[in-house]
Structure 1
Amino acid sequence: MKLKYILITVCCFFTLTGQADEGMWMLGNLNKQTRKTMKELGLQMSADKLYSPKRPSLKDAVVSFGGFCSGVVVSEDGLVFTNHHCGFSSVQQHSSVEHDYLKDGFVARSREEELPNPELYVRFLLRTEDVTKRVLGAVKPSMNEMERSSAVDSMMLVIGGEVSHKDSTLIGIVDAYYGGNEFWLSVYRDFNDVRLVFAPPSSIGKFGWDTDNWVWPRHTGDFCVFRIYADRNNHPAEYSPENVPYHPEYVAPISLDGYREGSFCMTLGYPGSTERYLSSFGIEEMMNNSNQAQIDVRGVKQAIWKREMDRNDSIRIKYASKYDESSNYWKNSIGTNRAIRKLGILEKKRAMEQELRRWIQQNPEEREKLLQLFTDLELNYKNRREVNRAQAYFIESFLYAPELVQLALKILNFDFEGEEKTVVAGLKDIVEQYSNLDLDIDKEVFTAALKEYRSKVDTTFLPAIYHTIAQEYNGDEKAYVDSLYAHSELTTPRGLKRFLERDTTYQIFDDPAISLGIDMLTMLFDMNMQMQAPTSEIIRGERLLNGAIRRMYASRNFYPDANSTMRLSFGTVAGYTPFDGAEYAYYTTSKGVLEKVKANVGDVDFAVQPEILSLLSSGDFGRYADEKGEMKVCFISNNDITGGNSGSAMFNAKGELLGLAFDGNWEAMSSDILYEPKMQRCIGVDVRYILFIIEKYGKASHLVQELKISD
């Protein structure tokens, strides 16, 4: 019975290699089995229509948006759809109390009104190429893990650099796949002039806020519209009033036909990272260290931010973007740890590893290479456990919590001798951070972080400032923080200005914030050095484990973990059963918006302007209504996504746009580690709702007229 249970569990674990709805597939490496499965599910496009390095294809309409999200090109004049939360920082930067685009939304009535965003870029993938043999050709059998890593990294940089050397408008990046067992070159072209065109009010784009984040049913109109600009030759160019809208290679057509349960659906975008092949030891470390540190420290920090944001509109605008980013990962960590426990992920991983142990024992060639694999992995994770935990809390408490420390470190590490463009952009970033900083809030956050860190780690890992607090401030963290901020010139841009102007009366290394930053970097370096040996062996062990899994299940159709490169996932539109006695439908409608508003009176997460409620209540949805006359808002599919997929295009069988992916679901938050076919869902905003809001609420029919809408 025990063996039978293990085999069933292992088969369940490896549904990732056999289910049509799982996998983040490389477009340039779709094998026959994957293409066949897609056709069987209903795909009506050939593989070369999805990806071709020589002629326009669907991949040419999909972009990496800013390096942290995805987007899709929807007009001949370079309009890009992405998520509202992906454009949130840009909307915030253009907002003020007088022009509150976060609250009221933004519409450019003409090209001249479109707002530039110097920090943004979009990246188009041109082609991919397998360079594994060349990269691993630099590895010698006599090399240890550090030497191997150095040789591999050097060769990756050389191959990538050759692309830009041949064509300065291109960028070559070599990425590792399958734990460093394969390497692929991606060739990109970036466009750096990206302008804000349309943003719905946050009551639409962020409807539900933290309450609904990662939760289904969802009623969030999570979309934003930007435009790509180029020079008059349609080539990449830095921002200039002389630039013109970019004319793309391929424009994604839009479907108003919608979907039904079981409809084919595929998602194209740039998922950030997954750990589907990670050992059980690595999962335990992730749960107890990095995830728990985010949960604890960010929870304390965000409570302070949120309290002040709710009190003051000026603070709300200043802190909106950083709160949004922080809270997203905070809730993700909570959900991930919860799902790992509830779904028995560790037990499933351990069962698979037990089966792998048997296979190694039964194969002499594998036994010779891997006999100590699991013993070594367990030992090395154990050897770095306490330092790794302390480092996770250290980073959250001192590098991500007090912004004064962040600013000090930015200034300390700033490359003033770099290219003019880089220097200017870096200085703008620092000035922008100052403009969105409230010192009283930052002091309270720092004080709280000091207390939280001390309560969570062993005294061995306390920085020297705790001794200073005890000896000079009688153990009063607040008194220490008040003194630090009072004596540092870096609490405002004044100190940076004095430093840049070479003011002889100001020695930046004597500034207490800089001194603290140096102490923090020194301690972080010491922690890394303590973990160096076990970490090196862990990297090696995880790579060997990845390779062993693929050899053991050689007949299965494997896909590599996400690594911020373009990926395709496919499956069907489908509801699910979250728990016994409950059934979740595959879509939501505008009725749900009205119901949530009514049920949550007084809750700012569900506050919606009266004019929006009136519009949704009217029932006048025009051509954007479904066959029942209803306005669909969101829908779900079993497409396999993760962070970075936000803004990814969700296409039907013909390659027509159905909507934009923007979230996963709470019941399957462990999906970065293990795909759960019965539970995992991709939440998307319906393109018809997007167009309805643009046209009917935003009165921006000129934007809709640019689109290629299928009859």
Structure 2
Amino acid sequence: MKLRILIMAACCLLALTGQADEGMWMLGNLNKQTQEAMKELGLQMPASKLYSPKRPSLKDAIVSFGGFCSGVVVSEDGLVFTNHHCGFSSVQQHSSVEHDYLKDGFVAHNHQEELPNPELYVRFLLRTENVTKRVLGAVEPGMSESERTSAVDSTMLAIGEEVSHKDSTLIGIVDAYYAGNEFWLSVYRDYNDVRLVFAPPSSVGKFGWDTDNWVWPRHTGDFCVFRIYADKHNRPADYSPDNVPYHPEYVAPISLAGYKEGSFCMTMGYPGRTERYLSSFGIEEMMNNTNQAQIDVRGVKQAIWKREMDARDSIRIKYASKYDESSNYWKNSIGTNLAIRKLHILEKKRDMEQELRRWIQQTPEEREKLLHLFSDLELNYKSRREANRAQAYFVESFLNGPELIQLALTILNFDFEGEEKTVVANLKGIVEKYANLDLEIDKEVFTSLLKEYRSKVDSIYLPEIYQTIATKYNGNDRTFVDSLYAHSELITPRGLKRFLEQDTTYQIYDDPAMSLGIDMLTKLFETNMQMQQASSEIVRNERLLNAAIRRMYASRNFYPDANSTMRLSFGTVCGYTPFDGAEYDYYTTQKGILEKVKAHVGDVDFEVQPEILSLLSSGDFGKYADEKGEMKVCFISNNDITGGNSGSPMFNAKGELLGLAFDGNWEAMSSDILYEPKMQRTIGVDVRYILFMIEKYGKAGNLIQELKVNN
């Protein structure tokens, strides 16, 4: 009987235990089982060529791009390929109505024309080290969860600081794995002088925009090119005209040979966050609270932004980057909730948990420790349900909503005692936010979100401003908003300037926008305190659940959830069947672009410049054509990725670059919670399309000459 239960549980847990094409694996902890699986699929490189802390290896060509994307070094002079949407804010910052790089693209034909981006950095991983024993050594028997957290956090911080104390050019960060059951140190080196080199027009880099986002078939040339600069000794340096191109430890070669169905494919990058081990109670909370709040609130905000962006080019340029960032996760949340329901993710999780319950009951040492694990999880998630929902809507409506409140909170939390260069850079960032703010649009957003929040939460979670609106402004939200903006000095940089100059006639903390921001933080704190006990117990029990799953299947090959550290995923190039009667091929070509342009006449999401259409219609693709003479634009594999993997290189069996990952597919949007092998696909832009656009549209043959291209 016990054997039959374990076999049934193994089937239910299959998605949690690395299959050949599932898993975001730690490069510094690739065990023999994982290495063998890669070889069986076709990998022709030894593991030491993928990762080595002592010798140049493929991982030395991979960067964390700005801390929010990934990228790959492709030349001896520090060229980096990443996604267009990863470089979008940099392109936007350099754009104006007169020089509309968002619309027309950007090309630097020499180093002097490359554009600096002070807010950007790239991060190289040097090595990783398991420090679990040291971190957990700080945990003493009988500690409460808050005491444990404090001990663990302080030890993690101390270990990281030891790295930079030994070498000021290095950064040490300790991250938790397996819900806090393991801890690893990553040692990095950052380069802060990163310059824009090439950006295709948005009609290429964002082709399809929201309509095609997260959807296959895809025809988006989602790429951008930057260059890393260093001092004359190849060391990290802040921006200076005297800096020179960085010379990397390893340069990723590029393949023009392409791929076929079943070809080996691997990605390396920095996936942000997955919740593959999260309980069914946690998934349900995520659906109904976090995701639904993003869907509802961002939908309201973005509709206002989009209307004004479509009406005026000046607003389009100002709001393009923040709209892009907001809408990306808005649509992600929509797709995730739909996929959870359609793929019956909750039911699968509950089946797995039921089998785990039985195992605990039948294993005396587990029963003694975990008898109440699931009842405690259920009770504590239920205890914080309404407060958590209110908090999710509160954060979206106010802390991520009106930009005036965001500016007030940024100023409130500003570290004026930091390093001079950091203070200056952060002040420039605030001024940049003002430059991209339209007050009338922001007032409309604020008014609409006040109404949206009121309609979605219980009245006990309404902050005091609602009482003020009811009594002082006769319940008129817009009148309140107009008055707030009329009486605040923070609607322009003038208020910040008066504060910095210590103008005695201006008390910044009495400014109505600042006062409101403080009230908002106070309300958020109150909500957190209401959930504190339940949240603490949830963290503890999710950690125990994670550990129990791994003990139950001690012989299985488990990978940790993504946590923004470097990971490798591997699989094959392959199509899929999204539903009965439909079969999707593993690639798209230039023909699809031309077809979509014709099918969406008048739709700005599919408008493409005539010269680009002419290039794609000519059929003259030269060495970038496939065996049929066509131009492959995008392709898909069953590699396992998530947010943060954008810009991750997709390599063939020899470690040659095939393209850049930039998206997942609509049918498997629940992939952060459960991997679905039949459905989940990574969408990448073909490197041959990238090179074609650089050479033929951008006429930047100088960049092509820098690359190591293999036929």
Structure 2 length-normalised TM? 0.99
Task: Report the equivalent of 1:387.
Answer: 387
Aligned pair 1:150/2:171, yes or no?
Answer: no
Deviations 1:497-534 (A, max 9, x none): 11111111111111100110010000001011111100
2:373 touches 2:541 (CA, 8 Å); kept in 1? Answer: yes
Aligned to 1:493: 493
Partner of 2:255: 255
Give 1:18 shift: 4.2
What is the CA–CA distance in structure 1 between the aligned matches of 2:288 and 2:5, rounded to whole Å? Answer: 27
Q: Deviations over 1:304-347 (max 9, x none)?
A: 00000000000000000000000000000000000000000000
Residue of structure 1 in register with 2:115 after alignment: 115
Task: State the 1:412 CA deviation.
Answer: 1.2
Shift of the alpha carbon at 1:10?
5.4
User: 2:530 matched to which residue of 1?
Assistant: 530
Contact 1:339 1:667 in 2 (8 A): yes
Amino acid at match of 1:108: A
DSSP 3-state at the match of 2:387: helix
- Which residues of 2 match residues 154-193 of structure 1 at below 5 A? 154-193=154-193
Instruction: Kindly tell me the number of residue pairs found equivalent between the two proteins.
Output: 710
What is the SS of the residue equivalent to 1:683?
Answer: strand
Note the C-alpha offset of 1:553: 1.0
* Contact kept? 1:101, 1:201, Cα under 8 Å: yes
RMSD of aligned alpha carbons: 1.2
Contact 1:9-1:348 within 8 A present in 2 as well:
no
Instruction: Give the percent of matched residue pairs that are identical in Structure 1 and Structure 2.
Output: 85
For 2:549 and 2:539, the matched residues in 1 are separated by 16
8 Å CA contact 1:6–1:352 kept in 2: the answer is: no
Partner of 2:439: 439
Partner of 2:585 in structure 1? 585
| Structure 2 runs not aligned, ≥5 long | none
Task: Give the match for residue 676 of structure 2.
Answer: 676
Alpha-carbon distance, 1:614 to partner: 0.5
* Structure 1: distance between partners of 2:394 and 2:313: 31
**1:549 corresponding residue in structure 2:** 549
The code of the aligned residue for 1:319 comes to Y
Cα separation, 2, equivalents of 1:499 and 1:646: 39
Which residue of 2 is the match for residue 451 of structure 1?
451
Cα deviation, 1:154-179, whole Å, max 9, x if unaligned, reads 00001000000000000000000000
Alpha-carbon offset, residue 561 of structure 1:
0.1
**Cα contact 1:10–1:348 (8 A) shared by 2:** no
Q: Structure 2: how far apart are the matches of 1:16 and 1:699? A: 47
2:311 match? 311
| 1:662-693 Cα shifts (integer Å, max 9, x gaps) | 00000000000000000000000000000000
* Aligned equivalents of 1:121, 1:521: Cα separation in 2: 30
| CA distance, structure 1, for counterparts of residue 9 and residue 612 of structure 2 | 49
| Secondary structure in 1 matching 2:676 | coil
Residue number in structure 1 paired with 2:571: 571
Contact 1:276 1:561 in 2 (8 A): yes
After TM superposition, which residue ranges in structure 1, 4 or more long, deviate above 3 angstroms? 3-10
- Name the aligned partner's letter for residue 693 of structure 2: I
User: Secondary structure of 1:671's partner?
Assistant: helix
Displacement, 1:4? Answer: 8.5
- Alignment match, 1:229: 229
The answer as to whether partners of 2:360 and 2:370 remain within 8 angstroms in 1 is: yes
Residue type of the alignment partner of 1:457? V
Deviation at 1:263, TM superposition (A): 0.1
Q: Distance in 2 between matches of 1:680 and 1:417?
A: 47
Structure 1 residue identity aligned to 2:666: W
Q: How far does residue 414 in structure 1 lie from its aligned partner after superposition?
A: 1.1
Output the amino acid matched with 2:200.
Answer: P
Helix, strand or coil: the match of 2:569?
strand
Mapped partners of 1:16, 1:352: distance in 2: 10
Amino acid at match of 1:31: N
Q: Within 5 Å, which residues of 2 pair with 1:607-618?
A: 607-618=607-618
1:543-576 alpha-carbon deviations (Å, 9 max, x no partner): 0000000000111100000000000000000000
- Matched with 2:83 is 83
Give the C-alpha shift of residue 13 in structure 1.
3.8
Instruction: Tell me the residue number matched to 1:132.
Output: 132
Give the match for residue 243 of structure 1: 243
Instruction: Name 1:597's counterpart in structure 2.
Output: 597
| Counterparts of 1:74 and 1:393, CA distance in 2 | 43
Distance in 2 (CA, whole Å) between partners of 1:505 and 1:282 is: 50
**Are 2:667 and 2:680, in contact at CA under 8 Å, matched by a contact in 1?**
yes
Partners of 2:314 and 2:418 lie apart in 1 by 35
CA distance in 2, matches of 1:204, 1:663: 15
Give the Å deviation of 1:9. Answer: 7.5
CA–CA distance in structure 2, aligned partners of residues 17 and 624 of structure 1: 39
2:19 aligned partner: 19
Distance 1:150 1:5 in 2: 39
Work out whether 1:266 is the aligned partner of 2:266: yes
Q: In 2 relative to 1, CA 30–95 (structure 1 residues): closer, same or farther, beyond 3 Å?
A: same
1:13–1:674 Cα contact (<8 Å) kept: no
- SS of 2:429 mapped into structure 1: helix
Aligned residue number for residue 414 of structure 2: 414
Q: Deviations over 1:354-412 (max 9, x none)?
A: 00000000111001100010010000001111000000000000011100000011111
Q: Which amino acid aligns with 1:664?
A: G
Are 1:299 and 2:299 an aligned pair? yes
Q: Contact 1:597/1:607 (CA < 8 Å) preserved in 2?
A: yes
Is contact 2:15–2:674 with CA below 8 Å preserved after alignment?
A: no
Contact 2:9–2:355, Cα closer than 8 Å, also in 1 = no
In the alignment, is residue 277 of structure 1 matched against residue 277 of structure 2? Answer: yes
User: Structure 2 CA distance, aligned partners of 1:299 and 1:118?
Assistant: 31
CA contact (8 A) 1:10 1:351 kept: no
Deviations 1:262-317 (A, max 9, x none): 00000000000000000000000000000000000000000000000000000000
Cα distance change, pair 18–190 in 1 and its aligned pair in 2 (3 A): closer
- In 2, the alpha carbon distance for the partners of 1:574 and 1:700 equals 32
* Residue 6 of structure 1, CA deviation: 10
Contact 2:9 2:356 in 1 (8 A): no
Contact 2:647 2:661 in 1 (8 A): yes
Return the alpha-carbon distance in structure 2 between the equivalents of residues 214 and 401 of structure 1: 24
The CA deviation at 1:632 is: 0.0
Partner SS state of residue 336, structure 2 = helix
Counterparts of 2:459 and 2:227, CA distance in 1? 52
Instruction: Check conservation: 1:6, 1:351, Cα contact below 8 A.
Output: no
AA of the residue aligned to 1:127: R
Per the alignment, residue 632 of structure 1 pairs with 632
Confirm or deny: 8 A CA contact 1:78 1:228 kept in the other structure: yes
- Following TM superposition, by how much is the alpha carbon of 1:15 offset from its aligned partner in structure 2, in angstroms? 3.3
- Looking at structure 2, the residues matched to 632 and 558 of structure 1 have their Cα atoms a distance apart, in angstroms, of 35
Q: Which amino acid aligns with 1:574?
A: C
Q: Hey, what does 1:698 align to over in structure 2?
A: 698
Following superposition, the deviation at residue 139 of structure 1 comes to 0.3
Per-residue deviation, 1:16: 3.8
Q: Could you tell me how far 1:7 is from its partner in structure 2?
A: 6.1
CA contact (8 A) 2:16 2:277 kept: no
